[in-house]
Amino acid sequence: MLKTKKGLRLKKPAHKKLSAAGTASLVILLIIMFCSVFAPLVAPHDPLEFG
């Protein structure tokens, strides 16, 4: 019982850290994907708008 309780106590903070790191990495990936998709779309249109 003590081992399972200690295991659960150790798993909860580790899970929180993993979820926080996972969300952070997902946000970074989304930003990179958004920039990589948005930049090519904006780059060709800017000269057309000004021209």
How far is the C-alpha of 26 from the C-alpha of 44, rounded, in Å? 28
Q: In this predicted structure, what is the pLDDT of residue 28? A: 93
- Select from 33, 14, 12 the least CA-distant residue to 22: 14
- Tokens linked to 33: 């994907």
Residue 16 counted as domain residue: yes
Domain hosting 1: range is 1-45
Residue 30 counted as domain residue: yes
- pTM for this structure? 0.46
Residue 51 counted as domain residue: no
Q: In this predicted structure, what is the pLDDT of residue 51? A: 47
**pLDDT by 10-residue block (mean), the chain, 51 residues:** 58 71 90 82 62 47
Which residues make Cβ contacts (< 8 Å) with residue 16, sequence separation at least 6? Answer: none
The tally of domains found in the chain comes to 1
Q: Give alpha helix (H) positions in 1-51.
A: 2-50
What is the 8-class DSSP label of residue 51? -
